[in-house]
């Protein structure tokens, strides 16, 4: 009989070991060590499924931003292909644990193709397990990355930038509200529908602000006519620097500014030591996908983002 429980200290950081899959096993151990050391998870948030013979056959680990007490997502989710009920039980246990810790929703992302550190093989099966456990797709995304070159493209001379340190919060909320009124991002559009434009803009600013950044990094770019044209919110996630959010005001679209603002965020992060930068966008946001490519980024993965209300 399979049981779901908290992992014992001697089972960390390995969790489930896959015979003959040394790369995957090593990546899991290294990733969980980083999560524990970085305070993105805790030993009591590491759940395992134990088979009747005592072997570990599945896992689910809760994740949060360093310094936060409430779990935001589940990572390192593994379950045997021949036992979907084990996968559903793990996800239910993770959701219950997250709810006990104050979470209102729980997220999980499935990247394809499978790659380190989570090696999410068989994405179709994973997606079906998530749906059966009450998760819904909230975004069909595309992931981009750039190995920062020694010489970056110059800033767009048509834009002049002013930072959060100079402007304060409200001008950023104003621009974000304008952007969200006409967004191609399914997740952001859902936030607008749920919270209204102003609150959705505030949430976007606040949630991106939970990533490490300096006020000087966040900028609004102004067109020659003096109106806000772009917004750039680069940051550092617990694992890699990211183009946290960029956008072009509706009145200034069609001018090539999407590429310009990706370049600007890249330049800011590169100047602060980034050697690799990542960014995501909705698959439906073709303009932003083109902007990443034109700024030198490669589309290295697709990402389905799932969420379950608790």
Tens digits of per-residue pLDDT, 223-254? 999 999 999 999 999 889 999 999 999 999 99
Cα-based angle 171, 258, 116 (whole degrees, multiple of 5): 105
pLDDT of residue 83: 92
Q: pLDDT exceeding 70 applies to what percent of the chain?
A: 100
Average pLDDT over residues 252-272: 97
Q: What is the token pair recorded at 108? A: 């999980």
Which letter does DSSP use for residue 212 in this model? B
Average pLDDT over residues 87-102: 97
pLDDT band at 52 (very low <50, low <70, confident <90, very high): confident
pLDDT of residue 67: 81
Mean pLDDT of the chain: 95
Q: What is the token pair recorded at 144? A: 């981009």
Domain boundaries for CATH 3.40.630.30 within the chain: 3-134, 160-301
pLDDT band at 111 (very low <50, low <70, confident <90, very high): very high
Dihedral class, residue 154 (left if φ above 0, else alpha if ψ from -120 to 50, else beta):
beta
Average pLDDT over residues 168-191: 96
Q: pLDDT exceeding 90 applies to what percent of the chain?
A: 92
Average pLDDT over residues 160-187: 96
Is residue 56 over pLDDT 90? yes
Sign of CA dihedral 167, 170, 173, 177: negative
pLDDT band at 153 (very low <50, low <70, confident <90, very high): confident
pLDDT single digits (tens) 192-231: 999 999 999 999 999 999 999 999 999 999 999 999 999 9
Closest CA to 191 of 244, 269, 139: 139
160-301 maps to CATH 3.40.630.30:
yes
Which letter does DSSP use for residue 154 in this model? P
Any residues with CB less than 8 A from the CB of 193 and at least 6 apart, and which?
A: none
Is residue 152 over pLDDT 90? no
Q: Which CATH entry fits the domain spanning 3-134: 3.60.15.10, 1.10.3720.10, 3.40.190.80, 3.40.630.30?
A: 3.40.630.30
Q: Which run of H or E residues covers position 131? A: helix 123-132
Length of the chain (residues): 310
pLDDT of residue 62: 98
């Amino acid at each position: 009989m399979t049981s779901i429980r908290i992992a014992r200290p001697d089972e960390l950081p390995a969790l489930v070991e896959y015979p003959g899959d040394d790369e995957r096993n090593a990546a899991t151990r290294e990733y969980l060590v980083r999560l524990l050391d970085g305070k993105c998870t805790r030993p009591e948030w590491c759940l395992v499924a134990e088979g009747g013979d005592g072997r570990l056959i599945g896992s689910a680990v809760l994740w949060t931003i360093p310094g936060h007490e409430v779990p935001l997502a589940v990572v390192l989710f593994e379950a045997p292909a021949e036992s979907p009920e084990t996968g559903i039980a793990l996800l239910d246990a993770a959701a219950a644990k997250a709810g006990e810790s104050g979470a209102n929703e729980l997220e999980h992302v499935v990247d394809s193709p499978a790659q380190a550190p989570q090696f999410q093989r068989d994405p179709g099966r994973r997606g079906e397990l998530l749906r059966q456990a009450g998760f819904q797709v909230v975004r069909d995304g595309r992931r981009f990355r750039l190995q920062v070159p020694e010489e970056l493209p110059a800033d767009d001379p048509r834009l002049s930038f002013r930072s959060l340190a100079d402007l304060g919060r409200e001008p950023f909320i104003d621009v974000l509200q304008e952007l969200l009124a006409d967004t191609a991002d399914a997740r952001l559009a859902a936030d607008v529908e749920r919270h209204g434009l102003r609150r959705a803009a505030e949430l976007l600013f606040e949630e991106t602000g939970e990533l490490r950044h300096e006020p000087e990094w966040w900028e609004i770019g102004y067109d020659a006519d003096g109106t806000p044209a772009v917004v750039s919110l680069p940051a550092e996630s617990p694992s890699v620097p990211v183009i946290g959010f960029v956008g072009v005001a509706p009145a200034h679209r069609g001018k090539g500014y999407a590429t310009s603002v990706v370049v600007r965020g890249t330049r800011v992060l590169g100047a602060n030591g980034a050697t690799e930068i990542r960014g995501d966008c909705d698959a439906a946001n073709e303009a932003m996908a083109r902007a990443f490519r034109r700024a030198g980024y490669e589309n290295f993965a697709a990402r389905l983002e799932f969420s379950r209300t608790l």
